[in-house]
Amino acid sequence: MGIEIFSLEGRRALVTGASRGIGRSIALAFAEAGADVAVAARTVSDLETLAKEIESLGRRAVVIETDIRNRDAIQSMVDAVVAEFGGLDIMVNNAGGSNFMSPLIAMRPEGWEKIRTLNYDAVFHACQIGAQAMLASGGGSIINISSVAGISGAPTLSMYSAAKGGVRLFTQAIAKELAASGVRANCISPGWIDTPLNDWMTSDENTLREAEKMIPMGRIGRPEEIVGAALYLASDASTFTTGTTLVVDGGQTA
Ligand SMILES: NC(=O)c1ccc[n+]([C@@H]2O[C@H](COP(=O)([O-])OP(=O)(O)OC[C@H]3O[C@@H](n4cnc5c(N)ncnc54)[C@H](OP(=O)(O)O)[C@@H]3O)[C@@H](O)[C@H]2O)c1
């Protein structure tokens, strides 16, 4: 068995939140590994730029404008991939994040709801709808992007921690349910990664230094450093791996 076990030749992938950050890096890497890639997010112009890069690698690309906070939009997204590619083999549920922090006592229920809808409910809808499409073609790989905040509690991000921890256990549960069907489900839990999500931190030297102190490697990660884990979980390199979480965090949670 050689390096070809990492090949995604002939696979049909869908990456949500592909317009920037971690999702963009994963989508490009999948195309480089041989997959046709559907890229989904709200910002179509960024997706179109990415689609051109995917096509320049000789792969098919589909741009899907979507808002994953809406189940019907998720259904339409998956339907579009199946209509365009003829099936779905790999689904990366990456879109998510939190654009505010709040201590428990000050948190408004609307804030909790907002983070839950984006980071938790959407993963349920996407996994249910995506798994149905995968079952129709005999199997596939679901990759949910959790976080180190879903492994240990993140103060002032309690709702985000709860959602990401929930995604991890949800993934473990559905991995067991689906194991015999040929559909695998796994998580990646990134630590601090230098994406637009963290501009608030990287744009301030002192805040960045404080974050780096929490990381044994002494630096935050780059989006490309999540790609290896995604390629492993998407490809035949991981055919006996389901229900696991790959932590990519510079040693933060070790
Ligand atoms: N960066 C980190 O340090 C870090 C650490 C742990 C986990 N994570 C997780 O990794 C994932 C990617 O994060 P990132 O750092 O790459 O974030 P990012 O740079 O902010 O990118 C987020 C992506 O999600 C899309 N998105 C956001 N809301 C959406 C919605 N309602 N519907 C559809 N797409 C939506 C965005 O595109 P549009 O705005 O165009 O829709 C964008 O493509 C997230 O789940 C995040 O929680 C990140």
Q: Indicate which residue of 160, 245, 249, 250 is catalytic.
A: 160
Q: Is 142 exposed, middle or buried (0-12, 13-18, 19+ CB in 10 A)?
A: buried
* Distance between Cα 2 and ligand 1 center (Å): 34
Q: Which of 19, 161, 224 to mutate to test the pocket of ligand 1 (most atoms within 8 A of CB)?
A: 19
Whole-number average pLDDT of the chain: 97
253 within a domain of the structure (yes/no): no
Residue 227 has pLDDT above 80, yes or no: yes
Cα(73)–Cα(114) distance, rounded to whole angstroms? 17
Residue 39 has pLDDT above 80, yes or no: yes
Annotated catalytic, 120?
A: no
Distance separating the N- and C-terminal Cα atoms of the chain = 31
Residue 59 lies in domain: 3-247
Task: Verify whether ligand 1 is closer than 6 Å to residue 198 (CB atom).
Answer: yes
29, 7 Cβ separation under 8 angstroms: no
Task: Verify whether ligand 1 is closer than 6 Å to residue 193 (CB atom).
Answer: yes
Residue 136 has pLDDT above 90, yes or no: yes
Task: Verify whether ligand 1 is closer than 6 Å to residue 74 (CB atom).
Answer: no
CATH code of 198's domain? 3.40.50.720
Residue 222 has pLDDT above 80, yes or no: yes
- 184-221 pLDDT per residue, tens: 999 999 999 999 999 999 999 999 999 999 999 999 99
* Distance between Cα 69 and ligand 1 center (Å): 13
49, 121 Cβ separation under 8 angstroms: no
254 within a domain of the structure (yes/no): no
* Distance between Cα 1 and ligand 1 center (Å): 35
Task: Verify whether ligand 1 is closer than 6 Å to residue 150 (CB atom).
Answer: no
Task: Verify whether ligand 1 is closer than 6 Å to residue 96 (CB atom).
Answer: yes
Per-residue pLDDT band at 246 (split at 50, 70, 90) = very high
25 within a domain of the structure (yes/no): yes
Residue range 103-112: mean pLDDT, rounded = 97
Q: So what's the pLDDT on residue 86? A: 97
Q: So what's the pLDDT on residue 1? A: 73
Q: Calculate what percentage of the chain has a pLDDT beyond 70.
A: 100
In the chain, the number of structural domains is: 1
